[in-house]
Amino acid sequence: MFDKSPICLRIDHLHPDVTSEIVDARGGHARVADDLLRTGRCRGAAFTGWLEPDRILAPDELVRLRNAIARLRNDTDILLVIGIGGSYLGARAVIEALAEDPERVVYAGTNLSASYLTRLRSRLEGKRVAIKMVSKSGTTIEPSIAFRLLRDLAGGSAARIVATTDAEKGALRQLATKEGYETFAVPRDIGGRYSVLSAAGLLPIAYAGVDIDELVRGASDCAELCTNSDPLHNPALFYAVARNILYEQGFVIELLASFEPRLHYFAEWWKQLFGESHGKERIGLFPASADYTTDLHSLGQYVQQGRRILFETFLVIDGGEPSVRIGSSADDTDGLNYLSGREMSYVNRTAYEATAEAHRDGGVPNMTILLRQLDAYALGALIYFFEYACAVGGLMLGVNPFDQPGVEAYKKNMFELLGKPGCESRPADRSKPEYVCF
C-alpha cells in the first residue's frame, strides 16, 4: 500500500464528488502550477527556499546548530521558545508528536495574556532556563513583550539565549549583537509558516530529543516523490487538486481530523499554513481541525447532520503504536468482554473506519492520509506533503501562497489604539463600542 513513501492517500470516500478521473482531467492545470513553482515564475517565487529541505541549512550552519543544541541541553533543564505563528507552531507540532518529554520545551509570545505569563513564570521558577527568541524583525508585539518580561529567566547569562532573526538587520539582530547572544538567520527565501525545517524549527525540535536528521530525510524523500507532476502518481498533488475541486462544488470548510492526540499541534500548524496561504482575495477554504474520538461527541453531531459545507481529511497512523491489550472482566458489567484481547490501536482504527463511512453516508466527502507509523521520518515527509500541496493549490486558486497581507490589519488598529509613536491616530468618528449587559 505504501510503496516507497511513508505516506498513502485513501480516496474512495471522496466518491462520487471527486474521483481519479475528475482529478486527472485537471492534470494540465496542476502541471502548470507545479512548473511555475519549480521554475521560480510563480507569485511569491522569492519565498520558495523550502522546496529543497536538505539545502535549507548549509553544512557549517548545521554543525553550529548541533553544537548550540548540545550546549543548551547540557546546561539547562527547559527551553523557552518565544515566538508566534510560524516562529513556533511547526516546532511545537513536531515536539508534541514525537518527543518523549515534550514538556521540556515551553512557549511564550503566543498570546497577550497576563495570566499565562504569570503562570509560566511560576512554573519555571528554580529551573535552569534557556531561551530561544524567534522574530525576523524583533518588533512583533506578542513575542517582543514576552521576551522583555521573561528574558531574566535565563539568569543573566547571554550563553543561555539564542536568537533566530534576520541575518543583517532588525531590532532583534541589533539586540543580539549588543548582548552577545548566539544567532541563527531566518532564511530570507522562506516564510515563517514554511520554516519548520530551518534553524527556527530544528533547534527546539532537537533540544526536545527528536532526530532532526530523520525529519529532514523524510521531507527530502517526499520532495523527490513530489517531482512527479501527474496527480495520479503524486498523492500531495492529488490532495491539492481534490480540495480545490471540492471548494468549487461548495464545500468551503476543510476539517483536518486525527484520532491521535499527539497530532493536535500538527493540526494547529496545518491551519496556519493553509489559512495564511489561501485565505485572501475573498476566496479560499477555511481550515478547521478536530480531535477524534473526543470531538465526535460534540462537533461530530454537526459533521454528521449539519449544513453540507465541509469535507474532511483524516490523519491516521497505520502502525508502530504501543501494544495495549484490553483485558477481560469476570462479571462483564460494562459489556466489553467482546473486546477482550483486542489492541487499543485496533479499536482506534475501527473508530476511524466507522467515522469515515458514516460521514460519507451523511454527505461529507473525506479522504485519509495514512502514515506508516508516527516517527521523525514520516512526520518530515508529512510536513513537506502539506507545504507542497499548499503552494501548488494556492497557485491553482490564483493567489500568492507565500504572503499574508491580511495579518497586518489587526496590528495597524492595535498600534493606533495603544498609541505607538509614528502610527496614524484613529479618526474621531470611529464607531464606539456598543454593549448589552446583564
| Residue in 4, 178, 297, 432 annotated catalytic | 297
| Residue in 15, 169, 233, 411 annotated catalytic | 411
* pLDDT score recorded for residue 432: 78
Taking the C-alpha atoms of residue 400 and residue 47, their distance in angstroms, rounded to an integer, is 10
- Give the burial class of 243: count Cβ atoms within 10 A of its Cβ; 0-12 exposed, 13-18 middle, 19 or more buried: buried
Beta bridge partners of 165: 185
Mean pLDDT in residue range 13-36: 97
pLDDT over 80 (residue 429): no
Q: How many C-beta atoms lie closer than 10 Å to residue 27's C-beta?
A: 15
pLDDT over 70 (residue 427): no
233 is catalytic: no
Q: How many C-beta atoms lie closer than 10 Å to residue 316's C-beta?
A: 20
Confidence of residue 1 (pLDDT cuts 50, 70, 90): low
pLDDT in tens, 159-188: 999 999 999 999 999 999 999 999 999 899
Mean pLDDT in residue range 354-378: 98
Mean pLDDT in residue range 391-410: 93
| Structure-model confidence comparison of residues 410 and 13, the more confident one | 13
Taking the C-alpha atoms of residue 258 and residue 264, their distance in angstroms, rounded to an integer, is 8
Taking the C-alpha atoms of residue 77 and residue 125, their distance in angstroms, rounded to an integer, is 11
| Structure-model confidence comparison of residues 178 and 426, the more confident one | 178
432 is catalytic: no
CB-CB contact of 332 with 344 (8 Å): no
| Residue in 142, 254, 260, 276 annotated catalytic | 276
pLDDT in tens, 103-144: 999 999 999 999 999 999 999 999 999 999 999 888 899 999
Q: Which positions ≥6 away from 322 have C-beta within 8 Å?
A: 345
Mean pLDDT in residue range 91-97: 98
* pLDDT score recorded for residue 2: 66
* pLDDT score recorded for residue 426: 63
Element (H, E) at 292: none
* pLDDT score recorded for residue 420: 87
pLDDT over 80 (residue 424): no
Mean pLDDT in residue range 270-297: 97
243: cell is 480540495
Nearest alpha-carbon partner for 395 in 59, 48, 56, 33: 33
Mean pLDDT in residue range 343-361: 98
Helix (H, G, I), strand (E, B) or coil at 288: strand
Percent of the chain beyond pLDDT 70?
Answer: 98
Mean pLDDT in residue range 369-385: 97
pLDDT in tens, 205-260: 999 999 999 999 999 999 999 999 999 999 999 999 999 999 999 999 999 999 99
Task: Give the chain's domains with CATH numbers.
Answer: 7-43+216-397 (3.40.50.10490), 57-186 (3.40.50.10490)
DSSP state of 371: E
Taking the C-alpha atoms of residue 263 and residue 277, their distance in angstroms, rounded to an integer, is 21
- Give the burial class of 433: count Cβ atoms within 10 A of its Cβ; 0-12 exposed, 13-18 middle, 19 or more buried: exposed
The model carries a pTM of 0.96
* pLDDT score recorded for residue 431: 72
pLDDT over 90 (residue 193): yes
Taking the C-alpha atoms of residue 151 and residue 210, their distance in angstroms, rounded to an integer, is 25
Q: Indicate the pairing of strand 161-165 with strand 182-185.
A: parallel
Query: One-letter amino acid identity for 57?
Result: L
* pLDDT score recorded for residue 428: 59
Taking the C-alpha atoms of residue 16 and residue 22, their distance in angstroms, rounded to an integer, is 10
297 is catalytic: yes
